[in-house]
Amino acid sequence: MAITARVLETVRDVPRDAWDALVRDESPFVEWSWLAMLEEARTVGRETGWLPQHLTLWDGDALIGACPLYLKAHSMGEFVFDQTWATAARRAGIEYYPKLLVGVPFTPVTGGRFLAGAADVDRVRIGLASVLERLCTEQGFSSVHVNFCRPDEGAVLASRGWLRRLGYQYQWRNEGFRTFDDYLASLRSKRRNQVRRERRELAAEAVEITAHVGDDVPPDVAPLAYRLYRTTVDSNPWGQRYLTQRFFELAIERFRDRLCLILARRRGEVIAGTFNVQKGDAMYGRYWGAFSFVRHLHFNVCYYAAIEHCIASGFARFEPGAGGEFKHFRGFEATSTESMHWIREPRFRAAVKDFLMREREAVSDEIEWHDEKTAHKRDRDDDDE
């Protein structure tokens, strides 16, 4: 039977079990429930510039491949910044928007983007890529972008002439730590003492931090989680209120088994917290907020409490999100990320290709510098011991 491609305006047009059978152990953010919650809460749609156009491959009635696909009217909420490309395209008389984006809205987390069953993975990936290229050409879009994909997916796309973009994030790896003190022992003595001091000073302010997982997540906490989220996005000049309170309500109702809320309380009142998602051997930090300023509150809630929870849970890594070189000083390592790009217009493609080649060299140098700096610090600390 011939393989057919279908573009769907909602993930709810696919049975959840069929979609998640392709996801398997992949990132929780490509699971049917997460994508459906974004749609139902109206955080994505025509009015937000994130129009779902999910691409699916079918062998008869059997779903054999899929990717979360959006028609984008802007570049916000992607965390792979191409606004300068849009400006350059406009100067060249090329309409950059709308464009096609394969990825998860508002979520800079690496994971599978071309979902396939256990068999014929590369064949399905090639099939999806081919359809994306054809959609872009036939409908006159400037480009297709696959953000935060896995390296093996990138290799398949690169073999078809897609352009690779390199970036990096700071991620924490569990080096066999059994206790928080084991983690502290991996830091330089100066940083180790700093972390201990920051934890002591917060405790002296009568602040207690607790992690709530799964059934322990309070069922009525959605308004609080939304208010915490708003404190961050509303206070930053670049902040964008992508999510709605309805999204948090749905997440706590339908995604509770994946959630970890870390809440800081002072005399019983919540003053700060983070909204995290966990699956398999990893935890992903998503949204942070605070109602009042307390010295060292951010580091303790977002990083120290999260690391302590990961160690207690036996997680192998913690991905706190994009940005923040200060994470490096607390044991987070620079970890490469990549995205792939297909540009329809040949001259524009050549210009982007040249830019990416130079950018990759610069990013590789930065990652190497971080690696050498980390190794040097550890060697020097060993000498001090």
Per-residue pLDDT tens digits for 184-223: 999 999 999 999 999 999 999 999 999 999 999 999 999 9
Asked whether residue 382 is assigned to any structural domain, the reply reads no
pLDDT-based confidence at residue 375 (cuts at 50, 70, 90) = low
State how many domains the chain has: 2
Q: What pLDDT was estimated at residue 372?
A: 73
* Phi, psi for residue 205 in degrees, rounded to 5: -85, 10
Residues 199 and 115 in one domain: no
193 token code pair:
């003492």
- Tens-digit pLDDT profile for residues 218-254: 999 999 999 999 999 888 777 788 999 999 999 999 9
pLDDT surpasses 60 at 353: yes
Residues 135 and 80 in one domain: yes
Residues 101 and 17 in one domain: yes
Residues 79 and 179 in one domain: no
Q: What pLDDT was estimated at residue 373?
A: 67
Asked whether residue 11 is assigned to any structural domain, the reply reads yes
Residues 292 and 189 in one domain: yes
- The C-alpha atoms of residue 46 and residue 64 are separated, in whole angstroms, by 27
pLDDT surpasses 70 at 381: no
Least confident of 1-10, 152-161, 190-199, 233-242: 233-242
Decide which of 153 and 240 is more confident: 153
Asked whether residue 378 is assigned to any structural domain, the reply reads no
Q: What pLDDT was estimated at residue 328?
A: 78
Asked whether residue 326 is assigned to any structural domain, the reply reads no
Map tokens 């180790």 to a residue.
192
How confident is the prediction for the chain on average, in pLDDT? 93
The SS3 of residue 196 is helix
Structural domain for 283, as ranges: 175-315
- Tens-digit pLDDT profile for residues 89-141: 999 999 999 999 999 999 999 999 999 987 789 999 999 999 999 999 999 99
Q: What pLDDT was estimated at residue 109?
A: 96
pLDDT surpasses 50 at 383: no
pLDDT surpasses 70 at 380: no
Q: What pLDDT was estimated at residue 329?
A: 76
- Tens-digit pLDDT profile for residues 33-70: 999 999 999 999 999 999 999 999 999 999 999 999 99
CATH number at residue 95: 3.40.630.30
Q: What pLDDT was estimated at residue 86?
A: 97
Asked whether residue 211 is assigned to any structural domain, the reply reads yes
Q: Angle at the Cα of 384 (from 178 to 295), degrees rounded to 5?
A: 60
Neighbours of 257 (CB within 10 A): 12
Residues 120 and 235 in one domain: no
Residues 247 and 279 in one domain: yes
Ordered strands of the 69-72 beta sheet = 50-52, 69-72, 99-102, 143-146, 332-343, 163-173, 317-319, 282-290, 269-279, 259-266, 207-213
Q: What pLDDT was estimated at residue 235?
A: 82
Residues 123 and 182 in one domain: no
Asked whether residue 108 is assigned to any structural domain, the reply reads yes
Asked whether residue 322 is assigned to any structural domain, the reply reads no
Asked whether residue 384 is assigned to any structural domain, the reply reads no
pLDDT surpasses 50 at 385: no
Residues 160 and 283 in one domain: no
Map tokens 């996801």 to a residue.
23
Residues 200 and 129 in one domain: no
Q: Which of 369, 367, 343 is nearest to 166 (CA)?
A: 367
Q: What pLDDT was estimated at residue 94?
A: 95
Residues 18 and 107 in one domain: yes
Residues 40 and 136 in one domain: yes
Q: What pLDDT was estimated at residue 382?
A: 46
